[in-house]
Amino acid sequence: MTLKPLTRSTPAQIEKADAIAIVGPTASGKTAAALAVAEALRAQGGAEIISVDSALVYRGMDIGTAKPSPDEQAQVPHHLIDILDPSQSYSAAEFARDTARLITNIQARGKTPLLVGGTMLYLKALLEGLNDIPAADLQIRAQIHQQAESLGWPAMHALLAKVDPLTADRLAPGDSQRIGRALEVWSATGKTLSSFHQSAKTHAPHWRIPVISLEPDQRTWLHQRIALRFEQMLAAGFLDEVRKLKSRGDLNSDLPSMRCVGYRQAWQGLDEGWPESEILERGIFATRRLAKRQITWLRSMPERIVVKADAPEALTQVLQTAMTLRNL
């Protein structure tokens, strides 16, 4: 297996990795691999894990996110887990900012930062930077949502198509979160969201973060693991977890937290009285689609180091690769 440095690295930066990323689609074995790497690094000062997962940031969402257990989190320090209430939101820009700070702090403690997860937009934001899109304007957002309550989101989508057809073309008429954000940007700046995406990106830190990607050779292997995981989540009380979140009264299905795969299907199923078997079926299907999108993201990163997640020697390969990268 050939180890290739990231294309962003310069000769002066190849001496040592700033961090190591262990990524892959959902259910590919990232958590177990990261814990094994952290254990192997104990003799070299130790490691700390930074979660690269947009769902793990939320408190009270444990079962449906396959959050590392308390015992697993006790084995090695974890960051960016349980940092927000489900009523709040967390952006890729915030992740990049927080992770840059964490990497510096972990390095100062003489440890190796391990970036672990499957939210590829977060990793992309850290490695490549983001367009300078303005922060949320809560007043404008409230006005847009009030207008949507009167007209409906398909009508808001039609309005977006008039001012920003490029963004509207890639959004479904019912995608309230993204339609609302695009209209908010237009209202606040007079510029389209697509123009921000096309503009030059903000300067990103020159991190050297090699990416180890756990990708299955056989998609059926991943599908079986996804199905088994969802079955285990239901057996562990996932629907009770969602019922508890619903009972709070201040959460709704349009929030980023409740749009997470699994939670979205469970919330709708409880609202509409689906049998558990239908929630299971729809949850598995949605998770498979998520995994497919994650793999597509990964394949756009030619500098990644691919380890076949379904190979018997996958964990050994991840360990050997991580130790090699750590000692470059």
For 239-270, write each residue's pLDDT tens digit.
999 999 999 999 999 999 999 999 999 999 99
**Are 179 and 167 within 8 A, CB to CB?**
no
The pLDDT assigned to 11 comes to: 35
Structure tokens at 298: 């990964």
Condensed to tens digits (0 to 9), the pLDDT of residues 92-108 reads 889 999 999 999 999 99
Cα–Cα distance, 66 to 58 (Å, whole number) = 12
The pLDDT assigned to 8 comes to: 36
Cβ partners under 8 Å of residue 31, min gap 6:
66, 68, 72, 116
Residue 9, pLDDT above cutoff 50: no
The strands making up 112-117's β-sheet, listed across from edge to edge, are 78-79, 47-52, 112-117, 20-23, 211-215, 305-308
The pLDDT assigned to 215 comes to: 97
Name the pLDDT band for 135 (thresholds 50, 70, 90): confident
User: Does residue 129 or residue 243 have the better pLDDT?
Assistant: 243
User: Does residue 108 or residue 16 have the better pLDDT?
Assistant: 108
Max mean pLDDT among 5-14, 25-34, 197-206 falls in: 25-34
Residue 13, pLDDT above cutoff 50: no
DSSP 327: T
Residue 4, pLDDT above cutoff 70: no
Q: What are phi and psi of 117, to 5 degrees?
A: 160, -170
The proportion of the chain whose per-residue pLDDT surpasses 90, expressed as a percent, equals 80
The pLDDT assigned to 196 comes to: 80
- Mean pLDDT, range 45-63, rounded to an integer: 97
Mean of the per-residue pLDDT values for the chain? Answer: 91
Q: Where are the alpha helices (DSSP H) in the chain?
A: 30-40, 70-75, 92-108, 120-128, 138-151, 153-163, 165-169, 176-189, 193-198, 219-235, 238-247, 263-272, 276-299, 314-326
Cα–Cα distance, 65 to 42 (Å, whole number) = 27
Condensed to tens digits (0 to 9), the pLDDT of residues 66-81 reads 999 999 999 999 999 9
Name the pLDDT band for 128 (thresholds 50, 70, 90): confident
Condensed to tens digits (0 to 9), the pLDDT of residues 298-323 reads 998 889 999 999 999 999 999 999 99
Residue 202, pLDDT above cutoff 70: no
Q: What are phi and psi of 226, to 5 degrees?
A: -65, -45
**Are 89 and 58 within 8 A, CB to CB?**
no
The pLDDT assigned to 203 comes to: 56
**Are 126 and 99 within 8 A, CB to CB?**
yes
Condensed to tens digits (0 to 9), the pLDDT of residues 141-187 reads 999 999 999 999 999 999 999 999 999 998 889 889 889 999 999 99
Of the listed ranges 4-8, 67-71, 284-288, the least confidently predicted one is 4-8
Give the orientation angle of helix 219-235 with respect to helix 276-299, to 10 degrees: 140
The pLDDT assigned to 5 comes to: 36
The proportion of the chain whose per-residue pLDDT surpasses 70, expressed as a percent, equals 93
The pLDDT assigned to 201 comes to: 57
Of the listed ranges 84-98, 120-134, 180-194, 313-327, the least confidently predicted one is 120-134
Cα–Cα distance, 267 to 311 (Å, whole number) = 36
